[in-house]
Amino acid sequence: LMKLFTVLTFKVLRNAVRVEEAEVEKCVRDVMKEKKIDQKDTGFKTNLHISLLQISGYKKLYLNVENLRKVPYDSDNEEHEEQLIELWNLLMPHENLKARITKQWCDIGFQGDDPKTDFRGMGLLGLVNLVYFSKHYTDEARQILSRSNHPNLGYSYAIVGINLTEMAYSLLKNGALKSHLYNVVSGLPQMEHFHQFYCYLVYEFDKFWFEEEPESIMHFNQYREKFHEKIKGLLLDCDVILTLQN
């Protein structure tokens, strides 16, 4: 009988961390009933409700981010093209693009004359991240772009930005962002919170790069991994919050 009770309790708790947002309230009641906790215990009920929202929200956020990553950049898609042009205008407000296919793209750190080829790894997620940072932290983005053109310590701004999208994505995927996101929002984490973490990475990587003073861009992977380990270490703190707003 005790074994059966334990199995039933485990089943209720296991189901609770897998629920969709609409089912959270019912799961809270079921857990409290199973554990014989007074339904009038509003403190426990509120904390459990928030926790279950955070857990289910993290999973949903990952799926949303993954779905955006899977969307390939399509130069025939008007919305994609508009976002790309918006990125240019945010970063280079005093210089007009002479054509859609142009070496000018290299001025903001793309590899060639058509940025679409650089989005293959991270899909539309890479572009959305770059635009978000440039739109919400325009002064910082322009400053970092300027620093990325340093004659000795320069790097490709857009390419590094897409690389940092991959870093943010991988940290979300393997669960390393849980403490950060749970501390940032008491409820459902949204795409906005993922973008904000990305902005933190871009800003902090630029500082890290210039503090480290790499011998050349050829050592990028080595320093990128060192930065990655630094961020993973920070994320181990259960009270961590990594945003530019702090």
User: What pLDDT, in 10s, does the model give residues 181-225?
Assistant: 999 998 889 999 999 999 999 999 999 999 999 999 999 999 999
Kindly state whether residues 92 and 49 are assigned to the same domain: no
- Which of the listed residues 43, 70, 97 is the one where a domain comes to its end? 70
Kindly state whether residues 66 and 148 are assigned to the same domain: no
Residue 245 lies in a domain: no
**% of the chain exceeding 90 in pLDDT:** 72
Neighbours of 105 (CB within 10 A): 22
Domain containing 156: what range?
75-236
Residue 166 pLDDT level (bands cut at 50, 70, 90): very high
Kindly state whether residues 43 and 146 are assigned to the same domain: no
pLDDT at site 55: 82
Q: Above 80 in pLDDT, residue 165?
A: yes
Q: What is the mean pLDDT of residues 13-26?
A: 58
pLDDT at site 51: 74
pLDDT at site 18: 55
Kindly state whether residues 106 and 12 are assigned to the same domain: no
Q: Above 70 in pLDDT, residue 46?
A: no
Kindly state whether residues 100 and 193 are assigned to the same domain: yes
Q: Which residue has the higher pLDDT, 27 or 154?
A: 154
Residue 32 pLDDT level (bands cut at 50, 70, 90): low
Nearest to 95 by CA among 130, 140, 142, 128: 142
**Contact assessment for residue 124 and residue 64, using Cβ atoms and an 8 Å cutoff:** no
Residue 5 pLDDT level (bands cut at 50, 70, 90): very low
Helix (H) or strand (E) holding 226: helix 220-234
Kindly state whether residues 15 and 134 are assigned to the same domain: no
- Residue 88: what residue type? W
- Which of the listed residues 13, 41, 70 is the one where a domain comes to its end? 70
DSSP state of 245: T
Residue 4 pLDDT level (bands cut at 50, 70, 90): very low
Neighbours of 154 (CB within 10 A): 14
